[in-house]
Chain A
Amino acid sequence: MTVYESWDAARGAEIIAEHAQLEGATLVILHALQEAFGYVPEPAIPMIASALNLSRAEVHGTFTFYHDFRHKPAGRHVLKLCRAEACQAAGGAALAARAESKLGVSLGNTTPDDRVTLEPIYCLGLCATAPSAMFDGRLVGRLDEARIDALVAEAQR
């Protein structure tokens, strides 16, 4: 699991200033903020807009378009299961259902105790060692029931 800083406007401004000079900096800044805080805090949106001379609507539009950017912090662990075709062909659907039932949440949700966020992902490029997953940034291929169970157990610890 990754430890994030808690939101701080001065720190946010510093991160924004670090990248503001780049051409088309919005995504770079959103990524950097999420890396620091674990999500993109709402107060950062007008700050980005003002630093890049954009409207709040433009920045909000960019922020909300992309699946990656979080509006609130994820659980302590994030388990992403590939749900794309190559993993489907290799039995990924049954494994995803198994993870859902073990964790008691459906894909796209966080357990009530905030321990685990379970998410679908569309292709990790590990299609020749399918089905695959990413657990807190670590890649796992050739998933089977035992490996899914081990990941779920690790996530619940």
Chain B
Amino acid sequence: MRLRVFIARDAGAVAVGADDVASKLEQASAKRGVPIEIVRTGSRGLYWLEPMVEVATPKGRLAFGPVSVTDVASVLEAILADGPHAIRLGIAEEIPWLKRQTRLTFARCGVIDPRSLADYRAHEGYRGLEHALTLTSDGILADVTASGLRGRGGAGFPTGIKWKTVAQTSAEQKYIVCNADEGDSGTFADRMIMEGDPFVVIEGMTIAGIAVGATKGYIYIRSEYPHAVEAMNAAITAARRGGHLGSRICGSRHSFDLEVRVGAGAYVCGEETSLLESLEGRRGIVRAKPPLPAHHGLFGKPTVINNVLSFAAIPFILAGGAKTYADFGTGRSRGTMPIQLAGNVKYGGLFETAFGMTLGELVDDVGGGSLTGRPVRAVQVGGPLGAYFPRALFDTPFDYEAFAARDGLIGHGGIVVFDDTVDMAKQARFAMEFCAIESCGKCTPCRIGSTRGAETIDKIRAGERVGENIALVEDLCNTMKFGSLCALGGFTPYPVMSALKHFREDFGPAPTRLQAAE
């Protein structure tokens, strides 16, 4: 009997020992005289169970996790004897946390070999492109519009309208740019899909190229993601070799090629115009809009710039799934959102589900509360520029409008959980400090305001004229919100103001609450 085993090569799994488990398993099976094939997949996103080891059985993939190096020998015995084991999880797809998800974008992530074009094709890959090649540009745009897809980077702009704007321009060169500068803490969906199913991103970008008449695309990946860079480059090479990138793709009259570019540690480059500046080789200074990138984007040419998850949603939509996609969700938030549960959370990972679950269900039920076991006091939704939500607002449904109505944003879908030891004045200060570190410096409210904000919060924490200084911070936030050119300065007030509004008791000298909690 030859064992076929699946272990993630995802950075999150590798960081907790997946490589060591894989090599140990190889040794153990050699010693045992059992032939074995280890396929390195992406992660299923059940990070508290990583490193997960799955073995192919007639009933499906049997999972074990979290597997440590010392567990490997006994796990191997349990596999061979089909016997019990303390960390035997049953068939992977039947694990409740995975089963209750709606995996449209992440259907293949954790399942296939991300380096294998053949594996991608065997799991419905490139069906979307094949269908797109039978359509006119208008036909593709109609599908994207009908799906109701909105930009998954955070702004939520309708993807169909963005593409149509570029399609309607006339230029000898247009570009497709994928924003893979996933800098928000608490988010890792872009990283996971690039590492676990890179071809889906390539396919989505290729379809965009055909739809708007662009022949060249760039994927701008942050330098903190070396594994994703490697995975995307390997997939691009494989796609080119397979005739899915390059001239006359899949025998059609269309040409499209891709190049990976690596960022250099600037958070602001996740802002689309700053990213374009960076791609052009300059300082990542934000551009004023208009002109929109759709008219005047990369190198001054019409450019579609979308987040990784937006492109990754496209192949499903184009493979006849536009209506199915739109049938999921609520209100104007259609489809599914890969939600990322992070920080001090018991069951952390990626949970793709239709819009509409409440924040409380996501944090308490799906996430299982805090890892430390202490009460959850606050969650930050949408990255460093997202608002902090108290338990009182846990009835907020996860959709763009519901969060906006409560002075928050869903951003890129990250939820960072904090327990009751958190000092919210410190978190508010960090928001200002982070903005000061990362500000591109173009506009004054962001460049100066963030530094003054951090200083003023320091005064509040030191107990210096607390009331007056809180009023000053609120006024400053107002200036930053309405006077900044981009979301960095404009949204830094969200975490600050939400902390002030919902956790006012933390603002003042030496919070007594912490001592009370001990």
Contacts and interface: CB of A to CB of B under 8 A. Distances in A.
Interface of A: 23-28, 30-31, 52, 58, 61-62, 65-69, 82, 84-91, 121-130, 132, 134, 137, 139-142
Interface residues of B, number: 62
Given A84-B384, A86-B343, A125 B182 contact: yes
Nearest to A132: B15
A61 B68 CA distance: 47
Interface string B1-20: 00000000001101110000
Contact of B340 (A124, A128, A132, A134): A128
Given A88-B343, A90-B371, A129-B16, 20 more contacts: A26-B281, A27-B281, A28-B261, A28-B262, A61-B283, A62-B281, A86-B416, A89-B343, A89-B416, A90-B343, A122-B434, A124-B225, A125-B187, A126-B15, A127-B416, A128-B340, A128-B345, A134-B224, A139-B14, A139-B227
Given A62-B282, A128-B47, A141 B15 contact: yes
A87 B265 contact: no
B264 A69 contact: yes
Closest 9 CB pairs of A and B: A128-B348, A26-B281, A89-B343, A84-B185, A127-B342, A141-B15, A66-B264, A67-B265, A128-B47
B97 interface: no
Contact of A65 (B283, B371, B427): B283
A45 to B, nearest CB: 13
A139 B15 contact: yes
A65 B284 contact: yes
B148 interface: no
A90 B380 CA distance: 13
Contacts of B371: 90
B119 interface: no
B226 A130 contact: no
Contacts of B430: 85, 88
Contacts of A90: 343-344, 371
Among A30, A52, A67, A84, chain B packs the most CB atoms within 10 A around the CB of A84
B417 interface: yes
Contacts of A65: 266, 283-285, 440
Given A67-B266, A89-B416, A123-B224, A52 B348 contact: no
Contacts of B340: 127-128
Given A123-B185, A127-B185, A127-B186, A86 B342 contact: yes
A68 B264 contact: yes
A86 to B, nearest CB: 4
Given A124-B224, A128-B12, A31 B264 contact: yes
A85 B427 contact: yes
B498 interface: no
Given A62-B282, A86-B342, A137-B226, A123 B14 contact: no
Nearest to B280: A24
Contacts of B186: 84-86, 127
A123 B278 contact: no
Contacts of B16: 129, 141-142
A65 B280 CA distance: 14
Contacts of A124: 11, 15, 224-225
B282 A61 contact: yes
B116 interface: no
A20 to B, nearest CB: 11
